[in-house]
A = this chain, B = another copy of it.
Amino acid sequence: MTDFSAAIGSALSLVIGFDPVLVEIIGLSLYVSLTAVLFAAIIGLPLGAAVALFSFPGRTVITVLLNALMGLPPVVVGLVVYLLLSRAGPFGVLGLLFSPTAMIIAQTVLITPIIAALTRQVIEDLWAEYEDLLRSFGAGPLRALPTLIWDGRFSLVTAVLAGFGRASAEVGAVMIVGGNIDHVTRVMTTAIALEVSKGDLALALGLGIVLILLSVGINGAVFVVRRMAEQRYG
């Protein structure tokens, strides 16, 4: 039990003390995960929408795959990205391994299926409702897409948020491709893992509390904005 109070104490002192190392780590965590979410959204939103709107052979298979890949093991993703980016691998010349870029790539791979699968559901439901009307206006799926994305924006934000939650919480992928190098690729989760391996469980837990608070804060903020906007636009 002393561990817990020590953990809460260290969490508090970390936050209140505005520890510069912690600030750096949180900054990198946010930079990596937010960038990954950005790319995953750029890929996942249109991909999910395309699967929702167009019928093509293999559509069912892709739907099942997207759902299944929501549970992609981070370690495996890390490994694949590692092999691709390693000097011995096909993209080795880029020299990206053990850089924030590599971590962004791995997290993007990890969460793109999540965003795509949830987007597919949202856009499919909305298209079921709007299809007749928009087709009546003369719009096919392609022309309807901006409207669907705009009108489904609140639900899509939740999809993107789910991706962010997953990215910021995972350690397996960023550990392998980032290497948890001090001041270069150390993020919240790898820092926690490091403190665990040093046996400094209180500090690890303190960092964990900070990470969870960050996630709760972002979710809470989005929830409030969404509620307000929903009440305005129905």
Q: Residues of A at under 8 Å CB distance from B?
A: 1, 3-4, 60, 63-65, 67-76, 78-80, 82-83, 88-90, 158, 161-162, 164-166, 168-172, 176, 188-189, 192-193, 196, 201, 204-205, 208-209, 211-212, 215-216, 218-220, 223
Contacts and interface: CB of A to CB of B under 8 A. Distances in A.
A64 B189 contact: no
Chief secondary structure at chain A's binding surface: helix
Given A68-B219, A172-B172, A192 B3 contact: no
B219 A64 contact: yes
Contacts of A83: 3-4, 201, 205
A172 B204 CA distance: 13
Contact of A192 (B60, B79, B90, B215): B79
A186 to B, nearest CB: 14
Contacts of A170: 73-74, 172
A75 B176 contact: no
A223 B64 contact: yes
Given A1-B89, A3-B88, A73-B169, 16 more contacts: A64-B219, A67-B158, A68-B219, A70-B165, A71-B162, A71-B168, A71-B215, A72-B169, A73-B170, A73-B188, A75-B193, A79-B196, A79-B201, A171-B171, A171-B172, A172-B189
A173 B64 CA distance: 27
B208 A164 contact: no
Contacts of A169: 71-74
Contacts of A212: 68-69, 72-73, 76
24 contacts: A3-B88, A63-B223, A65-B216, A69-B216, A71-B168, A73-B170, A73-B188, A73-B208, A73-B211, A73-B212, A75-B189, A75-B208, A76-B205, A76-B212, A79-B192, A79-B205, A79-B208, A80-B208, A83-B205, A171-B172, A172-B172, A172-B189, A172-B193, A176-B196
